[in-house]
Structure 1
Amino acid sequence: MHDSVILVAQWAVSIIELLGIGIITLTAVYSIAVAGYHIAKQYDARGVFQEVRQRLGRGILLGLEFLVAADIIMTVTVDLTFESVGTLALIVMVRTFLSFTLDVELTGRWPWQPEREKSEPL
């Protein structure tokens, strides 16, 4: 592949990875800050815990999507070998499983089950 395309792809991968890491980090910090505020206001501790889990879980899911996108770009444009494709497949499988289990954990239902009624946010 042309050197300039590889250079652009490497820059894009770095930016997308930083976005994924930033999303996860900022979501974690924000979740903790909101939890601290709600605890200081003496909200129900169980509800605060559930809200932190929901916020953090959604942030992790979004961040993982960015990280998977970066891995795909890197493998397809920069390092296209059987070994790198196999590694990418393994990474995508693990992250997909993680995303699936997080989604089940956040929604409390399997994807093929009907949605529950929404509860009031804190």
Structure 2
Amino acid sequence: MDFTEQAHAWIEMAALGVELLATVLIIVAILAATAMYLVTLFREGLDHPNEYNQYKQRLGRALLLCLEILVAADIVRTIALDSTLISVVALGLLVVVRTFLSWSLILEVEGRWPWKSEPDDAPKTPPHPP
């Protein structure tokens, strides 16, 4: 096996590793968010509607992060291994679909479109001292 074939094999394994990382993160996030939700429900009772929103937000944020990781894996695989016109178009379609999913998740989690600024009544993080 020459250097080019080895490099392609390593890049393919790296892209697969990144995809597996995203998959594991999704599963862990779902399990952790669900466990926290159930513990709160059992501890504080079923009439705690804010917990459901926090549960959705935790899941949404985890999915957003994992979508970004999956896009990165697709970009690495396409650019480094298969930069034909068909694969670049397929990558473009994947990015469009995942971008739409990301926007939908942001709308669901934060209640606003990604290009809209946060409302004035949103909690602000205090400035860090120099």
Q: How high is the TM-score relative to the length of structure 2?
A: 0.84
Please give the alpha-carbon distance, in whole angstroms, between the structure 2 residues aligned to 1:10 and 1:113: 37
Q: Which of 33, 42, 48 is the matching residue for 2:51?
A: 48
| CA displacement at 1:45 relative to structure 2 | 3.1
The corresponding residue for 1:63 is 66
2:103, 2:113 within 8 Å by CA — same for their partners in 1?
no
The one-letter code sitting in structure 2 at the alignment partner of 1:77 is: A
Cα deviations by residue, 1:71-99 (Å, 9 ceiling, x for unpaired)? 11111111221111111110000001110
The corresponding residue for 1:27 is 29
The one-letter code sitting in structure 2 at the alignment partner of 1:38 is: T
The corresponding residue for 2:127 is none
Q: CA RMSD in A?
A: 1.5
The corresponding residue for 2:96 is 93
Cα deviations by residue, 1:11-33 (Å, 9 ceiling, x for unpaired)? 11011001111111111111110
Identity %: 37
Larger radius of gyration: 2
5+ long unaligned stretches in structure 2: 124-130
| CA displacement at 1:54 relative to structure 2 | 0.3
Runs of 4+ with >4 A deviation: none
Q: Which of 44, 68, 75 is the matching residue for 1:72?
A: 75
The one-letter code sitting in structure 1 at the alignment partner of 2:96 is: M
Q: How many residues align?
A: 118
Please give the alpha-carbon distance, in whole angstroms, between the structure 1 residues aligned to 2:86 and 2:118: 40
> Would the alpha carbon gap of residues 30 and 5 (structure 1) be closer, same or farther in structure 2, given more than 3 Å must change?
same
Q: How high is the TM-score relative to the length of structure 1?
A: 0.89
